[in-house]
Structure 1
């Protein structure tokens, strides 16, 4: 695992302060099509429950509510949540530490964590909390970045000699199987892995965006040709380990059954 950390980030409080500044200055969000793609991938039905951990500006929760999905968003940043409530008109958001969720066990049909575990002070604890709050027959969706992404880190190393360092307080990268082991060692059983590069547009605004940004359109067109192990990010769909209660030695949950890749 590759880790890049700002030296002042030593506690949950310092990380919260850093994210409040990020949301005040630039925000963190993807295209609408990205969130619509995730909901398609999960195949969530109306009236099912969904918890989006580290929800940021709340876009996934907003699109879920529009589809009559009972969604709740949790984030460390109060500023991010203020933006979420203002943009969505919803109040189904709460400020909380993803590594110590104020949520009862076995509560949600779906739990999502989209590009956030790699930024936690303790990623393993974040995974265990996902496993704890997921229903026994529930599905978790976790997006994580690849150390060896062909059009990301590898390209950046060729151009600069260094791994890409983003603007978030802690950045981590790992391999396809490296992240899988972290999930399996902490109560989740990956059953399918999907690559993420660029998402085909689901809205007219996103279609127009691609037309105005030819390099991004080229990246989209190249997406089917990029092997899973060299993808920008991995989306892991996971079930809860059947005998996980959040208190055992995590090493006992490593499972050696093959997962499905696409």
Structure 2
């Protein structure tokens, strides 16, 4: 899909959600707490959020004292992020060619977006490029082998999809994601399973509650999603 077509699709996706939730809801807050507590960024560390959307994570991270920047393909989302976090430097751009200098950031985050990029290897390589030598990348991605995703595939004969962005979406297993990140030149230091479901629009509330109750017994490779913490290779 051409960049222009993809940008139009994401603009429409964001247009439908503008003003939907001006504040971070408690579930998002718990998720963001968990993510930043995995990496313990230093006060006033420089953060770049790739595919920052309307700036929810930028707003949260700024509240934790980080100096925040963001990039998103959707100019509509970038405008919303700038309004939400006036102090942030937010630019329109592609993940495959980040509009920032090399060695610029202590932390690069990409949360639930790498699976949507047309060239995820090039995108992850760009994240490595803009990291400082001692920096870390925090990459959150869905698991192809999550039980609900397997059930979706068995019923529909296709890969799972969430959030209404099936026009550009590819899932992988934990090893599949690890291999991709290593191919991009990153070193995977650790990965953590995440089992709380709230983002999907294809799971009933009852099924979500049931999964959240039993998820502690699920092996990590069967988790809903993973957070990878990476360093430069």
TM range (shorter): 0.7 to 0.9
The 1-side partners of 2:61 and 2:170 are apart by 28
Aligned-partner SS, 2:169: strand
**RMSD of the alignment, in Å?**
2.2
Partner of 1:153: 149
Tell me, which stretches of 5 or more residues in structure 2 are unaligned? 22-26, 199-204
Structure 1 residues 33, 185: closer, same or farther in 2, change over 3 A? same
User: Cα gap change, 1:45/1:221 in structure 2, threshold over 3 Å: closer, same or farther?
Assistant: farther
Aligned equivalent of 2:108: 111
Partner residue in 2 for 1:49: 46
**Distance in 2 between the 1:224 and 1:129 partners?**
34
**Alpha-carbon shift at residue 225 of structure 1 (Å):** 1.3
Q: 2:16 maps to what in 1?
A: 25
CA contact (8 A) 2:58 2:88 kept: no
Q: Could you tell me which residue of structure 2 aligns to residue 82 of structure 1?
A: 79
Deviation of the 1:215 alpha carbon: 4.4
- Cα deviation for residue 121 of structure 1 reads 1.3
Q: Which moved more, 1:217-226 or 1:128-137?
A: 217-226
Q: Does 1:93 align with 2:90?
A: yes
> Where does residue 160 of structure 2 map in the other structure?
164
Query: Where does residue 35 of structure 1 map in the other structure?
Result: 32
Corresponding residue for residue 58 of structure 1: 55
* Structure 1, unpaired ranges of 5+: 1-9, 201-212, 242-262
Contact 2:189 2:229 in 1 (8 A): yes
The Cα of 1:184 is off from its aligned counterpart by 0.4
Contact 1:11 1:121 in 2 (8 A): no
Equivalences for residues 163-182 of structure 1 within 5 A: 163-166=159-162, 167-168=164-165, 169-182=167-180
CA gap 1:102/1:88 in 2 versus in 1, 3 angstroms: closer
TM-score by length of 1: 0.77
User: Bigger radius of gyration, 1 or 2?
Assistant: 1
Larger relative CO (CA 8 A, sep 6+): 1 or 2? Answer: 1
**1:137 Cα offset (Å):** 1.0
Aligned length, in residue pairs: 219
After TM superposition, the score normalised by the length of structure 2 is 0.86
For 2:213 and 2:40, locate their aligned partners in 1 and report how far apart those are by CA, in whole Å.
Answer: 25
